[in-house]
Amino acid sequence: MDDLAAQIALIGAAGIASQWLAWRLQIPAIVILLAVGLFFGPFTGFMNPRADFGDLYTPLVSTAVAIVLFEGGLTLNFREIRETSKAVRRIVIVSGPLVWLMTALAAHYVGNLSWPTAIILGAVLVVTGPTVIMPLLRHAKLKTRPASILRWEAIVNDPLGALFAVISFETFLVLAGAHEAENLILNVILAIAIAVPGGIAAGRALSWLFSRGHAPEYLKAPILFAAVVAMNSITNLVLEEAGLLTVTVMGITMANARIASITELRRFKETITTLLVSGLFIVLTASLQMDVIRSLEWRVVGFLAIVLFVVRPLAVFVATIGAGLSWKERLLVGWIAPRGIVAVAVAGLFGATLTRIGVTDGDRMIAYTFALVAATIILHGFSLGPLARLLDLRSADRPGVLFVGASRFTIAFARRLKALEVPVLIADGNWSRISEARLAEVEVWYGEILSEQAHHSLNLSRFDHMVAATDNDAYNTLICTDFAPEIGRSDVFQIGDFGASDRQSMNFTIGGLPLFKPGKSYAQLRDLIVDGWIFQATRLTDEFGYKRFAETRPEETHVLLWIKPSESLVFAAAEGSGEPDEGDTIISFGPPRPEREQDKIVKATTTEREARAEKARKTTEAASANVAAAD
């Protein structure tokens, strides 16, 4: 494809389409991106981005990877790592070098790669891509501790793996006589001195700039973007790819600074990262040559088997001895290590360079990396959920509901859902109210739901829906607005009187969906509970469908949600929810169900029969008494 603009447009459209399809199919997006890249590139020859982009290819890939790693660093808060800091340190400091060493040995003796290629490949494969781990963790819904370990390892190991590869490559150049050893040592020391202190200084400077109001809101994201590109480029002038470490440190520094706008900045970076990852993986895969793929032989199968089943598990088990993890957590972390965009990008960079300077199997390193990326994405992507379930390391096997505000209404609602084994939790900052929920044996969280502590201690992956039901309508709106980007705009609901005047009504762009239509206030729901309204669960069958259900309930009954046979929850207030079908279990809220007419007839008949029997018994007793008196 000769038109570069059309090629970029096609890559962007295909990348986002792949992300959407992966979301619909509930599979890792990188699986589809890999297939699309192979189709566009080596399978059809439709495009070859490495040749088409020319000299822009390497700096564009390097800059994109730096932005991806910075966004990953923005998600790492030190509060989250308190429980797993020891394990993460061990995995990074001990497991990383072990993986490097053992992978290099496997690449040379099993994969038949030359020592320079094997050593650099071993360094590259230290990384465990955050662009793959993050979507997997969202789908698998792991418990907090193993999820935290995998996330921190992925972010921290990526720049370190790239740095290991740079040092290996520069060492090879020194041994080949292309560089002097003194220059290498000086460059490495200088690069690290710039990367770590420089990343911290840049992160703190931006945090100070944003928190003091020295930058307007509309310029914060562009300033951040430009700073990331600049810091990456400055460090790369000293040592190639060392800028990845700089931007990662910079992201972590900003994540732990108290910046009011950090959430908005993080969401902007997530959007940019999704676009970059989608396009970048297609670009890198499409640049793979067919003759390199054909060069793969049986040796690659043996290499993959050793890396997957020996190198990674052994390194993690050794590194986590005495780290406070259970054997189940060590087994899960030892198995899950998918490689992603950074491994492919760094391998592509150094593989092409090795080939250019005369190392004949440099391109095979690219093919080996792609083979491992594909294998880990498929094996780890599709096994994480079942393995976590088998090891009991999932936070919840079913989608749950988070209630904000403890009241008789939410407690009764939560108890009904809990009886159907739906995970529920009630959060409230009022101790007396939360005590009532505890007495009702409902799981609770005491504290301010909008606090930083709540964001770090509450595992929101357990909940697919949220109901804000406090006695303050404006506060309910604020809660829904804050949690909507994380839980989903169509999955947050609130109570309240939505019939207010235009002067008092909330803007339609904020808040959640009304749980009731028409809306009901906190006081109204309290009065209904006092009047005897209850929650009922009714399963629909072929004989007893939704129409029949509606006929047998009082007119004022509200259908709040229904539970599908697949255990997913569908709230009636959600857009496009439709109607419940056969096999669904309806949760309704209404007055006690009146007796059916047939029940009344049966009850009246039974009463009449019992009255006649009682009259006959008394007549018999009276007759017997008369006979006895006559005798």
Q: What is the 3-state secondary structure (H, E, C) of 453-491?
A: HHHHHCCHHHEEEEEECCCCHHHHHHHHHHHHHHHCHHH
Q: Are 396 and 569 in contact (CB under 8 A)?
A: no
pLDDT of residue 190: 78
DSSP three-state, residue 538? strand
CA 442/CA 440 separation, integer angstroms: 6
Closest CA to 355 of 40, 540, 114: 114
Mean pLDDT of 142-155: 82
Residue 331: CA count within 13 A, CB half-sphere: 12
The better pLDDT of the pair 335, 56 is held by 335
Q: 8-20: buried (b, 16+ CB within 10 Å) or exposed (e) per residue? A: eebbeebbeebbe
Residue 308 pLDDT greater than 90, yes or no: yes
The better pLDDT of the pair 350, 184 is held by 350
Residue 196 pLDDT greater than 60, yes or no: yes
Residue 20 pLDDT greater than 50, yes or no: yes
Mean pLDDT of 71-75: 74
Q: What does residue 399 show for φ and ψ, rounded to 5 degrees? A: -65, 135
Q: Are 370 and 282 in contact (CB under 8 A)?
A: no
Round the average pLDDT of the chain to a whole number and report it. 81
DSSP three-state, residue 540? coil
CA 137/CA 65 separation, integer angstroms: 21
pLDDT of residue 590: 92
Residue 295 pLDDT greater than 80, yes or no: no
First vs last Cα of the chain: how many Å apart? 122
Q: What does residue 265 show for φ and ψ, rounded to 5 degrees? A: -65, -40
The owner of tokens 């084994």 is: 421
**Phi-psi category of residue 574: left, alpha or beta, with phi > 0 → left and psi -120 to 50 → alpha:** beta
DSSP 308: I
CA 230/CA 220 separation, integer angstroms: 15
Residue 182 pLDDT greater than 70, yes or no: no
Assess whether the previous peptide bond of 518 is cis (omega < 30° from 0). Answer: yes
For the domain spanning 400-590, the CATH number is 3.40.50.720
Residue 345 pLDDT greater than 50, yes or no: yes
Q: Are 255 and 200 in contact (CB under 8 A)?
A: no
Residue percentage of the chain with pLDDT more than 70 = 85
Residue 503 pLDDT greater than 90, yes or no: no
Q: 171: pLDDT confidence band, cut at 50, 70 and 90?
A: confident
Tokens of 333: 């972390």
Q: 575: pLDDT confidence band, cut at 50, 70 and 90?
A: confident
Closest CA to 138 of 329, 385, 377: 385
Q: Are 11 and 283 in contact (CB under 8 A)?
A: yes
Could you read off the pLDDT of 98-107 as tens digits, one per residue?
Answer: 999 999 999 9
CA 225/CA 269 separation, integer angstroms: 8
80: which strand partners? none
The better pLDDT of the pair 385, 525 is held by 525
Residue 621 pLDDT greater than 50, yes or no: yes
Mean pLDDT of 395-404: 80
Least confident of 161-170, 447-456, 489-498: 447-456
DSSP 420: T
Least confident of 144-148, 402-406, 599-603: 599-603
pLDDT of residue 341: 73
CA 447/CA 426 separation, integer angstroms: 11
pLDDT of residue 83: 56
Residue 258 pLDDT greater than 80, yes or no: no
Tokens of 298: 């049986």
Pairing of β 463-468 and β 585-590: unpaired
DSSP three-state, residue 586? strand
CA 275/CA 11 separation, integer angstroms: 10
Could you read off the pLDDT of 82-131 as tens digits, one per residue?
Answer: 656 788 888 888 898 999 999 999 999 998 888 888 998 998 898 887 76
Q: 181: pLDDT confidence band, cut at 50, 70 and 90?
A: low
pLDDT of residue 271: 77
CA 399/CA 464 separation, integer angstroms: 5
pLDDT of residue 142: 82
428: which strand partners? 446
Pairing of β 400-404 and β 424-428: parallel
Q: Which residues contact 169 (CB under 8 A, 6 or more apart)?
A: 120, 240, 350, 353, 354
Q: 173: pLDDT confidence band, cut at 50, 70 and 90?
A: confident
pLDDT of residue 604: 47
pLDDT of residue 84: 60
Could you read off the pLDDT of 321-340 as tens digits, one per residue?
Answer: 988 889 999 999 999 988 87
Q: Enumerate the domain spans of the chain.
A: 56-390, 400-590
Q: 310: pLDDT confidence band, cut at 50, 70 and 90?
A: very high
CA 86/CA 613 separation, integer angstroms: 80
537: which strand partners? 587
pLDDT of residue 609: 57
pLDDT of residue 598: 41
pLDDT of residue 426: 93
Q: How many CB atoms lie within 10 A of CB 46?
A: 13
Residue 179 pLDDT greater than 70, yes or no: no
| Residue 539 CA: distances (Å) to CA of 549, 581, 585, 598 | 9, 10, 4, 21
C-alpha radius of gyration, the chain, whole number: 31
CA 281/CA 29 separation, integer angstroms: 10
Residue 502 pLDDT greater than 60, yes or no: no
Pairing of β 463-468 and β 444-446: unpaired
Residue 592: CA count within 13 A, CB half-sphere: 5
Least confident of 36-45, 280-289, 619-628: 619-628
Residue 348 pLDDT greater than 70, yes or no: yes
CA 303/CA 313 separation, integer angstroms: 15
pTM: 0.68
For the domain spanning 56-390, the CATH number is 1.20.1530.20
Q: Are 184 and 168 in contact (CB under 8 A)?
A: no
